[in-house]
Amino acid sequence: MHSITRAVIEKLHSPLSPKSFCLLSLSFVLCSLVGVGAINWLVNPYGQYGSRLMAPIVQDSRREKVELFEKLAFVPDGLILGSSRALKVEPAYLQSRTGQTFFNFAVNHGRPEDFLAIMRYYQQRFHRLPKTVLIGVDIAALDDKVPNDARLCSERRLFDLARDTCSWSEDFDRFSQLFSFQQLSSSFKSLRHHLCPRQRAEAQQAFQADGVIEYIQREREIALGEYDFESALEFNQREFLSAFSRLTEPSQRRLGYLRESLRLCKENGCKVYLFATVSHPRLRDALAIKTKFLSLEKKSLIDLEAMANEMGAKFMDFGRIESFAGDPASFVDGIHPLEPNTRRMVDRLLSRPSEGSYAFQ
């Protein structure tokens, strides 16, 4: 027994051969990657994968909107589509103006592939299209260099209807992030949030039953006169200065997805109100000075107007608040308007030609 123990100790203290060292190192790396991937898959901090053991630390608006939609006690006559910039368009206000019921199906970072998936989802569920659709399009959403939002890919009820809009490289990129140590850090943050009650913070925002967002914390601070609008605006400026510094042409691929949505509507008698979304005047000014935003916007508006005319949709450009008599004080940051502004947009969209011309630039 002593001789065996001595032999084991000598073996442990003897230097590893180059081959053994390489095999041991490779095994350690592979085990580490498998462990990182397993934790990220199970925790799923960004809502990119199928696991739902705990809520993501980012808002998974696609999944939340589908679940809210499926709980509705009625079939909505109309849909509101768009990005987070359209999350404050109120179904109740639209109903008061049109007599039709609506659901706000706008999603964070909503792009034309999202709109097409949602239209197909409604059609699959009810074997028809809605009577009316409002679609808000961000100029920044017409960027070919930005992949599909991973949260669209992970929401199977939508993604199964939009596979033709997602390339294999985008799916590969989503799953390659499983092995990211940056995502691992977010997984640990999520675990602390869910397992340690003292780490839990009050929800900053939530969706109402009709899909409209409530900015719980920010709206409270606005009401108290304590909201730091300047910091929120500075964040948007950094974000969009980076985005528009490399963007010069609207994505024909994404315009194609939008065209397909409008084609579905035209063939099924669905009335479409298409509009370019608003930016706060101060954000527009910064983008105009430091990027080619105005040139890109002009090209995008030409494409959107031509598409709307071809497909029988009504189009308005709400990029500037002057186009709908908006109020620069009714924003939570540089891109998200509050209800006083979204109601004025709805009024302009529903106005008859005699009440004012289209707000093209």
DSSP 126-160: HSS--SEEEEEE-GGG--TTSPPPHHHHH-HHHHT
If DSSP states are collapsed to H, E and C, what string results for 30-64? HHHHHHHHHHHHHHCCCCCCCCCCCCCCCCCHHHH
- Return averaged pLDDT per consecutive 10 residues of the chain, 361 residues in all: 58 63 71 70 65 64 96 97 98 97 97 96 96 97 85 85 70 62 64 61 85 95 95 95 89 96 96 98 96 95 97 97 97 97 97 52 33
Query: For residue 151, what pLDDT is reported?
Result: 80
Report which of 349, 344, 315 is spatially closest to residue 327, judged by C-alpha positions. 344
Query: For residue 164, what pLDDT is reported?
Result: 80
Report which of 108, 47, 121 is spatially closest to residue 82, judged by C-alpha positions. 108
Query: For residue 236, what pLDDT is reported?
Result: 95
Q: Which residues pair with 331 in a beta bridge?
A: 337
Side-chain half-sphere CA neighbours of 55 within 13 A: 12
Q: Is 322 left (phi over 0), alpha (psi -120 to 50) or beta?
A: alpha
Query: For residue 358, what pLDDT is reported?
Result: 40
Q: Which two tokens mark 42?
A: 């199970």
d(CA 332, CA 225): 12
Number of Cβ within a 10 Å radius of residue 150:
20
Query: For residue 26, what pLDDT is reported?
Result: 73
Taking the model in full, what pTM does it have? Answer: 0.81
Pairing of strands 206-207, 213-214: antiparallel
